C-alpha cells in the first residue's frame, strides 16, 4: 500500500527539501499562507532556496505584519526571490536589507505574467504569448511576435520543486477546498510543483467534501499536514 498523503508533522513533510530547491509559497496579504510549513522549513534549514511568492506586506495603517517569507530570508536560507511584490521600500525589513547589500537576488514581474508562467509549467505548456508586457520595462529582450489580435511577448513556463499551500480542508486523497481569499495562488502553485504540501485545519475522509466544490483535486496535492 502506498504511503498515505497525511504526514505526522510539517517538518516530516519537508524533510526531503534539498539545498538549492525552488519553493512556491502561496498567499495574498497574509490570506492563505502556510505559516506552519514556513516555520518548519526554517527548522529544516535547507539553503540556497529560490522562492516564488506574491503574498506581500500589508500597507501602512492596516496592521503591521511581516511578509510570509521573512523568517526564511532572515535566516539566510533564500538566495533568490521571484515576486510581483517583494517588499515596500523603507519598510522591507530583512528582505530589503539583504537585497540592498547584494545578498539576495530579486526578480520582479507582474503577477498576471507570473501566474500564467506557473500555470504553463503546471499544465505542460512550453510557453505562452501574452500582450501584457508589451512596451513595458518587463518586455526586456523577450521574443515579440505579431498575431491577428496584435503583438504579444513570449513568456516561458516556470516550475518548482515544492509548493507550500494553505487549504481550508483536504480529504486524505488530497482533494482540497479553500476559504475566500485563501484561494489566491494556491491552485496554480499546486499544479506547478513536483511536490505540493498542503497544511490545513481540517483533514477529512474521502466523500466528506462535495466533489463539485473541490478546487485542487488530489492529483495536485502530494502531502497533507494538520495545522492550527
- CB 185 to other proteins: min, Å: 5
Question: In the window 113-152, what residues touch other proteins (CB under 8 A)?
Answer: 113, 115-116, 119-138, 145, 147-150, 152
Residue 104 in the binding site for other proteins (CB under 8 A): no
Interface positions, 208-227, toward other proteins (CB under 8 A): 208, 210-215, 217-220
d(CA 34, CA 215): 17
Of residues 71-100, those binding other proteins (CB under 8 A): 83-91
CB of 75 vs other proteins, minimal distance in Å: 23
* Residues between 5 and 24 that touch other proteins (CB under 8 A): none
Distance CA 166, CA 41 (A): 14
Q: Cβ closer to other proteins: 46 or 220?
A: 220
Total binding residues toward other proteins, as defined by CB under 8 A? 88
DSSP-based three-state secondary structure for 45: coil
Contact in structure between 79 and 104 (CB atoms under 8 Å): yes
20 versus 207: smaller Cβ distance to other proteins: 207
Is 45 an interacting residue with respect to other proteins (CB under 8 A)?
no
Contacts of 135 (CB under 8 A, 6+ apart): none
Nearest distance from residue 162's CB to other proteins, in Å? 15
169-171 and 176-177 strand pairing: antiparallel
Q: Does 67 bind other proteins (CB under 8 A)?
A: no
Contacts of 157 (CB under 8 A, 6+ apart): 117, 118, 120, 121, 125, 126, 127
Residues 126 and 148 sit within 8 Å (Cβ to Cβ): no
Q: State the virtual CA torsion across 118, 122, 124, 126 in degrees, nearest 10.
A: 10
- Of residues 22, 54, 94, 170, which one binds other proteins by CB under 8 A? 54
The Cα angle at residue 211 between residues 205 and 216, in degrees rounded to 5: 85
Q: Is 206 in the site for other proteins (CB under 8 A)?
A: yes
Position 27 contacts other proteins (CB under 8 A): no
Amino acid at each position: 500500500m502506498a504511503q498515505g498523503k497525511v504526514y505526522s508533522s510539517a517538518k516530516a513533510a519537508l524533510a526531503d527539501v534539498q539545498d538549492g530547491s525552488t519553493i512556491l509559497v502561496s498567499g495574498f496579504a497574509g490570506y492563505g499562507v502556510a505559516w506552519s510549513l514556513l516555520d518548519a522549513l526554517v527548522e529544516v534549514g535547507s539553503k540556497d532556496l529560490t522562492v516564488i511568492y506574491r503574498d506581500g506586506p500589508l500597507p501602512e495603517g492596516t496592521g503591521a505584519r511581516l511578509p510570509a517569507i521573512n523568517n526564511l530570508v532572515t535566516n539566510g536560507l533564500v538566495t533568490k526571490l521571484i515576486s510581483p511584490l517583494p517588499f515596500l521600500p523603507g519598510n522591507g525589513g530583512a528582505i530589503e536589507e539583504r537585497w540592498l547589500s547584494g545578498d539576495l537576488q530579486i526578480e520582479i514581474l507582474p503577477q498576471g505574467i507570473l501566474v500564467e508562467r506557473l500555470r504553463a509549467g503546471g499544465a505542460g505548456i512550453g510557453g505562452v504569448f501574452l500582450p501584457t508586457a508589451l512596451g513595458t520595462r518587463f518586455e526586456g529582450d523577450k521574443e515579440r511576435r505579431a498575431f491577428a489580435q496584435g503583438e504579444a511577448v513570449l513568456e516561458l513556463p516556470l516550475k518548482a520543486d515544492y509548493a507550500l499551500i494553505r487549504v481550508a480542508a483536504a480529504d486524505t486523497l488530497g482533494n482540497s477546498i479553500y476559504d475566500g481569499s485563501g484561494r489566491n495562488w494556491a491552485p496554480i502553485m499546486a499544479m506547478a510543483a513536483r511536490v505540493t504540501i498542503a497544511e490545513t485545519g481540517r483533514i477529512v475522509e474521502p466523500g466528506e467534501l462535495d466533489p463539485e466544490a473541490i478546487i485542487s483535486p488530489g492529483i495536485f496535492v502530494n502531502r497533507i499536514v494538520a495545522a492550527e
